[in-house]
Amino acid sequence: MHQFWLAVGFGLVTASVIAVAAVGLSLQFGITNYINFAYGDFMALGAYLTWELNAGAVHLNIWVAMIGGSLLVGVFAVIVNRVVLGPFARRFERVFYVLIVTFALSLIILSLINSIWGADVKRFNMSSETPLHIGPFLLTVDQLIVIGIGLALMVAIHLLLTVTRLGKSMRAMSDSTTLAMTSGIDTRLITTITWFLTGILAGLAGTVLGITSASITPSFGETFLFVIFAAVIVGGVGSVYGAILGAVMIGLVTEVSAVFINASYKLDTAFVVLILVLLFRPSGLFARVGRV
Amino acid sequence: MAPIVYYAFTLLFFFAAYSVLGWGLNLQFGEAGILNFAYIGFVAIGAYITGVTSSGPPPAGSGESYVLGASLPFPLGLLAGGVASCLLAVLVAFIAFRRLRSDYLAMVLISISLVMYDVINNYVPLFDGADGLNSVPMPLSGTFNLDANGFLIFFALLSVGIGAVMWLVMSRITRSPLGRTLRAIRDDPDVVSALGKNVFRYQLTAMLIGAFYAGIGGGLIVEFASSFNTSAWLPAETFIIFAALIIGGLGNNLGVMMGAFVVPVLFTQLPKFIPDIPGHPGLILNLEGAVIGLLLIVTMWFRPQGIIPERPRRPDRFLAAQAPPAPPGGIDADAAEGPPPAPAGATDAKTTG
């Protein structure tokens, strides 16, 4: 039982990482209506930019570096959308063209990361701490901060979508771009802002993934992608709240499974959950008609 | 013989193998519209099964461990690889195909290939984990008494022969009513199912045939190289084959061959001849992926139909050859135009998803 509660604690940490990533991917999908297969590489880029600010060229505190790195990914995402993905999505009616372009972007970003930072494992410069006992859990301060970041971001995104004009415009666009446009919403501006926000989320997700897994490699975002996809599909594609619930579920399942099976396969259990959901409820566990 | 000759035959082999791989993916994606982002997984299963069914039980004391360990004679191991890849296709199709639209399917497929990679890499008893198979015998080298160099030339030529047969079969398939139905499904699955065709069964057929090609291609690679491990089928490899298809010409078997020559052969070989930039060893090789990605994006923008575009089908000739009642030729006529640049703008794109 002790082992189980420890695993639940780690599950909450993993869930926070997945939630940040999955919400970003879902928001992007809601606005653009295609899946960004380069999302894992956006995450890796965020981790490497943070590393550069934390242990590379500059030596900032990890959390300050994380904010800097994530903002840079946000800017990068806006540029990518403006220069590449936006024009392709407007020109080609068939969605697979854009999907292939995101796949190409993924290869480009991965090669660039490999060329700039090399293929060897990098680590953030942060003090190692002794874990704290909190109830039945055993977590480090950093892990608690990661959970806190996850919770704060989820609340912030909930408020963004329900209270602000920007969030309401985003929801309107995700329901129907044409209707949003005729209601006087500047869809291009909203798209740009969405890419900026989701780029930041990808950067944050990459960094917290690097913190929780204690190492960064160029392809670590890409190999984590199927876990995010699992959370997104389990929650219902395009639904932000579904993505959060899916993330919690996948996070708990993967970590608790490590109690019972070899820990090197723990992420693969996310895939098992994905297959079960596809077989019995292909639209996702929490899908509703109104998305985002 | 000079080393350059062996090098040329190595390139010839990869040209043949990648053409086979390209035709398989072209049937799935170019003809049937299935965005199979797990394609390299099918290639890998073909390669592993060919390897373990032809190299015998793991040699004692080598530390290798893998399943099966049979010693089938040459073409049987290769066929076993093709069949194993088909079995995987059936499994994948029944899990994922029935109710998923194309981009969900792509997400599931890419997940499948990532998880397969993870499991095969970690679970050593299956295919020897990250070390992979290292002692696959050179097929028929005993029969013809060939040394390693002789085998290289022999097997390259044999692969070209196998490739030629597979080309003939594939061009029959794409010209047949099956190919026509697949293209119609690609262009509008709803219309095809309204005409009473079972879309799932046609897609399953395309997956099966494509997977067989993937398995054979993978099997050829393992028999040529005598070894195969997880570094040979990183998920990005799927992308190389997609890039070959799109740059060469989607939906055209000749275009696919052209793509197989330009992308996997020319583009992955050329950088080896560019001298390293001083102080940055390996930089050129690392940038290779970026160059292929960039080339693909530029090609898709300026020439979305590829170097050799899909051949315009002639519905009038087809209709003349058929006795009435004539099937609606409109489907083929639309297919003939390939992917048109949509002037309709963003709003149209939203409705397609």
pLDDT tens for each residue of B267-314: 877 777 777 677 676 777 778 888 888 988 998 899 988 889 887 776
Find chain A residues with C-beta within 8 A of B353's C-beta: 33-34, 95
Distance CA A207, CA A195 (A): 18
Query: pTM (2 decimals)?
Result: 0.86
How many structural domains is chain B composed of?
Answer: 2
* Closest Cβ–Cβ partner in B235, B243, B283 for A222: B235
One domain for residues B285 and B303: yes
Per residue in B62-97, pLDDT (tens digit) is 778 888 888 888 889 999 999 999 999 999 988 887
- Is residue B192 scored above 90 in pLDDT? yes
Average pLDDT of every residue of chain B:
84
DSSP classification of residue B261: I
Distance CA A130, CA A139 (A): 9
- pLDDT average, residue stretch A7-34: 93
Q: Of A29, A225, A278, A291, which to mutate for an interface test with B (greatest number of B Cβ within 10 Å)? A: A278
One domain for residues B266 and B217: no
SS (H, E, C) A96-152: HHHHHHHHHHHHHHHHHHHHHHCCCCECCCCCCCCCEEECCEEECHHHHHHHHHHHH
One domain for residues B239 and B229: no
Contact A104 B110 (CB under 8 A): no
One domain for residues B157 and B136: yes
Q: Which of residues 74-113 of B touch A (CB under 8 A)?
A: 95-96, 98-100, 102-104, 106-108, 110-112
Q: Cα dihedral angle (B118, B123, B127, B129), rounded to 10 degrees?
A: 70
- Evaluate whether residue B287 is within a structural domain: yes
- pLDDT average, residue stretch A44-71: 95
pLDDT at B342: 44
Which residues on adjacent β-strands are paired with residue B66? B127
Contact B346 A90 (CB under 8 A): yes
Tell me which residue range forms the domain holding B171: 11-234
Could you tell me if B84 and B255 are in contact, meaning their C-beta atoms sit under 8 angstroms apart? no
- Evaluate whether residue B77 is within a structural domain: yes
Beta strand ranges found along B154-308 (DSSP E): none
ipTM above 0.90, yes or no: no
One domain for residues B190 and B160: yes
- Chain centre to alpha carbon of residue A58: 25
* Sign, Cα dihedral of A230, A231, A237, A238: negative
Residue B276 neighbours by CB under 8 Å, 6+ apart? B282, B283, B284
Per residue in A111-153, pLDDT (tens digit) is 999 999 988 899 998 877 788 888 888 888 899 999 999 999 9
Per residue in A142-196, pLDDT (tens digit) is 999 999 999 999 999 999 999 999 999 999 998 888 999 999 999 999 999 999 9
Q: Identify the three-state secondary structure at position A216.
A: strand
Structural domain spans, chain A? 27-229
Lowest mean per-residue pLDDT among B28-37, B135-144, B322-331? B322-331
**Is the preceding omega at residue B324 within 30 degrees of 0, hence cis?**
no
Residue among A205, A180, A183 at smallest CA distance from A191: A180
* Closest Cβ–Cβ partner in A103, A105, A226 for B242: A103
Nearest Cα residue in chain B from A268: B115
pLDDT at A282: 75
